[in-house]
Amino acid sequence: MKGTCVIAWLFSSLGLWRLTHPEPQDMTQCQRAEHPVISYKEIGPWLREFRAKNAVDFSQLTFDPGQKELVVGARNYLFRLQLEDLSLIQAVKWECDEATKKACYSKGKSKEECQNYIRVLLVGGNRLFTCGTNAFTPVCTNRSLSNLTEIHDQISGMARCPYSPQHNSTALLTAGGELYAATAMDFPGRDPAIYRSLGILPPLRTAQYNSKWLNEPNFVSSYDIGNFTYFFFRENAVEHDCGKTVFSRAARVCKNDIGGRFLLEDTWTTFMKARLNCSRPGEVPFYYNELQSTFFLPELDLIYGIFTTNVNSIAASAVCVFNLSAISQAFAGPFKYQENSRSAWLPYPNPNPNFQCGTVDQGLYVNLTERNLQDAQKFILMHEVVQPVTPVPSFMEDNSRFSHMAVDVVQSRDTLVHIIYLAT
């Protein structure tokens, strides 16, 4: 995202884009394919914009709710803005040094790529944990939220932040101080992983170079919910036999996972994933296979997602809403399992539907049996596909590819209205 996209991104956070109401009383009104369109000019009076000279790629936003501030990560810059009117409080340059840039050029990367793209921006207490690509030498800093120039720690960004600005990643910090990052772990981007580090729990990752775990994923978002961390992404579908197809996924791990012994050492023993279905029903359903952005409404346990078609096919976008309980249900059900690469994928009973975080109350060092570990290594993908709350997507539009979304629940006269904000 560069140039004009900067503004669009801030639109979406301000919520002044296109409106659609998924669940009010008059469903026919809301299931219309056409939605009222308001021009940019008309919303002008309600619009706040922030621009900064030389700053592009406004890719990360986070809030400091205590101070009513917005923290923004752009290429080579961090900003603190007043939440109320987006006025600038602090601008901090965070660039790569010359030696790092030179090393980056020598690896054949362009001037454009050999910059510091902020890709992790997380608030924990009065600290901002932020990482940048730093010319393909990712680095993370721990800063004071109230003064972003005040750096307390600087650590390697490897396995926490992508090397390349093109690689899509997501990260979260738990209350316990663990960082969960889903990102490419290496320079060429061939080793994607969901990786836990920092905090007191042992570092763990998804199995390396194993396409059944992750297959060229594009990570979209992550949430800390109850005993789990959830990850949303799209990836090449291993279970799809004919041709290359991308499917969208919800995956999760237990936060109290400590990895295996001998088997699955330093690796998740609780990683599982399920396909998300966002499609237009019909004799032959039309699939919006590629998740681009999500928004979680914790008070309703709903995950909103914007899905698109593949870039090589006709452009179309849809919003589907998933109930967290439907996702949990898929995770409690059978697995989809393939005995060997020539055999069919078949449902396989879940050997321990509740084994997931069952050890949480018994302390960390409960032994998983060898059998448990073999199962954990074998069964990754759920058989059941997670279906959205309504079979027809809440919103569909052809010829558009939306990339960002936010959802607000507002009280109208007699009902709660969900307002979806979408941005390209």
Ligand X SMILES: *[C@@H]1O[C@H](CO)[C@@H](O)[C@H](O)[C@H]1NC(C)=O
* Rounded distance between C-alpha atoms, residue 149 and residue 142, angstroms: 10
Residue at token pair 């996209």:
5
Instruction: Tell me which stretch binds ligand X (CB under 6 A): 76-84, 98-106, 242-250, 385-393.
Output: 385-393
Instruction: Tell me which stretch binds ligand X (CB under 6 A): 65-73, 121-129, 336-344, 408-416.
Output: 121-129
Residue in 285, 347, 349, 353 binding ligand X, rule: CB under 6 A: 285
> Do residues 254 and 228 make contact, with C-beta atoms less than 8 angstroms apart?
yes
Taking CB under 6 A as the criterion, which residues in 140-159 touch ligand X?
142, 147, 149-150, 152-153
Instruction: Tell me which stretch binds ligand X (CB under 6 A): 28-36, 206-214, 279-287, 375-383.
Output: 279-287
Residue in 277, 309, 328, 394 binding ligand X, rule: CB under 6 A: 277
Question: Site mask, ligand X, residues 210-249, x = CB under 6 A?
Answer: --------x-------xx----------------------
Smallest separation (angstroms) from ligand X to the CB of 84: 20
Residue in 265, 349, 391, 409 binding ligand X, rule: CB under 6 A: 391
Q: How many CB atoms lie within 10 A of CB 349?
A: 12
Q: Where are the beta strands (DSSP E) in 206-354?
A: 218-225, 228-236, 246-254, 272-276, 279-280, 286-287, 290-297, 302-308, 316-323, 335-338, 345-348
Smallest separation (angstroms) from ligand X to the CB of 83: 19
Taking CB under 6 A as the criterion, which residues in 75-104 touch ligand X?
none
Q: Is 127 in the site for ligand X (CB under 6 A)?
A: yes
In 3D, which of 224, 220, 158, 165 has the Cα closest to residue 191? 158
Instruction: Tell me which stretch binds ligand X (CB under 6 A): 51-59, 109-117, 123-131, 342-350.
Output: 123-131
In 3D, which of 190, 133, 142 has the Cα closest to residue 160? 133
Of residues 267 and 403, the one with the C-beta less far from ligand X:
403
Q: Is 357 in the site for ligand X (CB under 6 A)?
A: yes
Instruction: Tell me which stretch binds ligand X (CB under 6 A): 10-18, 58-66, 67-75, 164-172.
Output: 164-172
DSSP state string for 117-133:
BEEEEEEETTEEEEEE-
Q: Is 424 in the site for ligand X (CB under 6 A)?
A: no
Q: Where are the beta strands (DSSP E) in 145-226?
A: 147-156, 170-173, 178-184, 192-198, 204-205, 218-225
Residue in 133, 197, 221, 279 binding ligand X, rule: CB under 6 A: 279
Residue in 366, 409, 410, 416 binding ligand X, rule: CB under 6 A: 366
Residue at token pair 């059978």:
334
Query: Sheet harboring 178-184: ordered strands across?
Result: 170-173, 178-184, 192-198, 204-205
Residue in 52, 263, 297, 389 binding ligand X, rule: CB under 6 A: 389
> Do residues 211 and 238 make contact, with C-beta atoms less than 8 angstroms apart?
yes
239 sits in the region (left: phi over 0; alpha: psi -120 to 50; else beta) called alpha
Of residues 26 and 340, the one with the C-beta less far from ligand X:
26
Q: Is 323 in the site for ligand X (CB under 6 A)?
A: yes
Q: Is 364 in the site for ligand X (CB under 6 A)?
A: no
Instruction: Tell me which stretch binds ligand X (CB under 6 A): 91-99, 200-208, 338-346, 360-368.
Output: 360-368
* Rounded distance between C-alpha atoms, residue 232 and residue 296, angstroms: 11
Smallest separation (angstroms) from ligand X to the CB of 146: 8
Beta bridge partners of 180: 172, 196
Query: Sheet harboring 139-144: ordered strands across?
Result: 118-124, 127-132, 139-144, 147-156
- Residues 6 or more apart from 300 whose CB is under 8 A from it? 409
Question: Site mask, ligand X, residues 185-214, x = CB under 6 A?
Answer: -------------x----------------
Of residues 83 and 357, the one with the C-beta less far from ligand X:
357
* Rounded distance between C-alpha atoms, residue 199 and residue 173, angstroms: 9
Give SS3 for 104. helix
* Rounded distance between C-alpha atoms, residue 303 and residue 250, angstroms: 10
Smallest separation (angstroms) from ligand X to the CB of 191: 14
Which residues contribute to the site for ligand X (CB under 6 A)? Answer: 124, 127, 129, 142, 147, 149-150, 152-153, 166-168, 177, 179, 198, 218, 226-227, 277, 279, 281, 285, 292, 302, 323, 325, 357-358, 360-361, 366-367, 385, 389, 391, 403
